[in-house]
Structure 1
Amino acid sequence: MADGTLHVAVIMDGNGRWAGARGLPRSAGHEQAHLSVESTVTAALECGVTHLSLFAFSSENWNRPDEEVALLMQPGCWLLTDEELESYRQRNIQISFMGNLTDPRIPDACSDWLRTTAKRTASQHPRLRVTVAFNYGGRQEIAEAVRAHTASSEPGIQEDFRRHLWSSYLPDIDLLIRTSGEHRISNFMLWSLWYAELIFTDTLWPDFRGVHFSDAVAEYQKRNRRYGTVSS
């Protein structure tokens, strides 16, 4: 946490396993996900979180079955429903999207939805800024920043480089939560995770609720973040 900000990121994992355990198609797990997003966003407000980043679709997810990818290209159906977006707007919650959003594989209807959603929830002083990583890969973000930085006339220092990152408008991540029992960061916000605290939970994402989020924040607040120094 720095300057009163608290940035929590969540790798939302386990939708397919949640559906498989119930004998349902994988799509059912994705369709259940929006309930977890809504509960998490509400808990983030209650916990005083200023920035919440959600990993929705990775650059590697294009390798999934075509039917599943087609559903994931409809975020208004499984991630943020129209009713929830209106609730976010009324609560002064801003939604932004980060990733390779000009990728020609993204259908026009999806691109239009991303732009409309960002415009619809735009706010100069949001209570909470929610960033959805969509068609995002951490290595690609850094590679694109290197390309842009090299082409610029700026000095070769970290802060000048950082301005070229997709996530340049975000503070560094304080806490990363990953659901479903996996213990890896999966190419997510590699630059921003440099000194993040990590919490892994066995709870599958469709079962994840505000109480799980609040518990993770409470655990984070007990930790001593030393940034390479020693305890006082």
Structure 2
Amino acid sequence: MSTEVRMPRTGASQDSGESGPPPRHIAVIADGNRRWARGRGLAVADGYRAGAERVVDLVGWCDGLGVHIATVFLVSARNLEHRPADELAPMLEAIAALPQAVRHRHGWTVRAVGDSGALPGHLQSPLGRLNPPVDADARRVVNLAVGYDGHREILHAARQASAPGHTANPDDITVHLYNGALPAPDLIVRTAGEHRLSGFMLWQSFDASLHFCDALWPDFQRADLVDAVTHHQTQQRTFGL
């Protein structure tokens, strides 16, 4: 079961059956791993491992639906600062295994976006290197948002844009965001029944459709993704026109 933010449509009736193209870029706030584990009497580590496996599944579902880019919010900078070490260790272990699993099963390019300096030392180098160059036409790219904070991202981009040799204008700021030249997400999905963005992609979410799903992230299924994509396709985004 899912709940959605439904925006009024312009120029098409709700019953017209019109459908737009699938979103090119889907961003997901993968929430509910701990609740999933505790509800089953399992260790929290089991929830993180199940959640990581679901990320691998998500990439395959996106591939099949014609979605070219996925960004998955896995752990925030505040999580790294405030969660106990015995909980962070299995979470980060599961995340560290994701790039190889995604590449092996689906062949997508894997990137890590966020503040790699906020990560424990042994992960700064492996995840920090996951930043291959991409352009606006890139396909089959998954961004793993680790140590991510939307405020810090905007500040980082503004500092880069205002550095010597750069002109501080919105275009320059955009190319210095963590996703670089990649297009902003068309659709943002959050699981686990929470109805907020939690600082995720604050700059890039300006025109995105929002979809909130009750399923805990390890329980998220292809049908839930199809529901979100279908809802997005029925919206007519006018971009102020």
Shared fold (TM-score greater than 0.5)?
yes
Out of 142, 145, 166, the position equivalent to 2:178 is: 166
2:161–2:169 contact (8 Å) kept in structure 1 = no
- Find the counterpart in structure 2 of residue 102 from structure 1: 117
Matches within 5 A, 1:204-223: 204-223=216-235
Aligned length: 219
Out of 42, 59, 65, the position equivalent to 2:77 is: 59
Question: In the alignment, is residue 225 of structure 1 matched against residue 237 of structure 2?
Answer: yes
Gaps of at least 5 residues in structure 2 are 1-21
Report the secondary structure of 2:205's partner residue: coil
2:48–2:94 contact (8 Å) kept in structure 1 = no
| Higher relative contact order structure (alpha carbons within 8 Å, sequence separation ≥ 6) | 2
Over residues 110-161 of structure 1, what are the superposed CA-to-partner deviations in whole Å (9 max), with x where a residue is unaligned?
2344257667xx9998641101111110000111112222223433321122
Cα 1:163/1:126, change in 2 over 3 Å: closer
- Find the counterpart in structure 2 of residue 145 from structure 1: 157
- Find the counterpart in structure 1 of residue 201 from structure 2: 189
Report the secondary structure of 2:115's partner residue: coil
- Find the counterpart in structure 2 of residue 31 from structure 1: 49
Gaps of at least 5 residues in structure 1 are none
Report the secondary structure of 1:102's partner residue: helix
Following superposition, the deviation at residue 73 of structure 1 comes to 2.2
Identical aligned pairs, as a percentage? 33
Over residues 137-190 of structure 1, what are the superposed CA-to-partner deviations in whole Å (9 max), with x where a residue is unaligned?
000011111222222343332112212222222201100000000000011111
Out of 127, 132, 155, the position equivalent to 1:114 is: 127
1:14–1:204 contact (8 Å) kept in structure 2 = yes
Partner AA of 1:21 in structure 2: G
1:8–1:175 contact (8 Å) kept in structure 2 = yes
Report the secondary structure of 2:238's partner residue: coil
Give the TM-score normalised by structure 1: 0.84
Partner AA of 1:86 in structure 2: H
Please give the root-mean-square deviation of Cα atoms over the aligned residues, in Å: 2.5
Out of 100, 109, 128, the position equivalent to 2:140 is: 128
Structure 1 outlier segments of 4+, above 3 Å: 81-85, 115-119, 122-127, 152-156
Partner AA of 1:228 in structure 2: G
Partner AA of 1:227 in structure 2: F
Structure 2: distance between partners of 1:155 and 1:126:
26
Cα 1:228/1:83, change in 2 over 3 Å: closer
Report the secondary structure of 2:98's partner residue: coil
2:52–2:94 contact (8 Å) kept in structure 1 = no
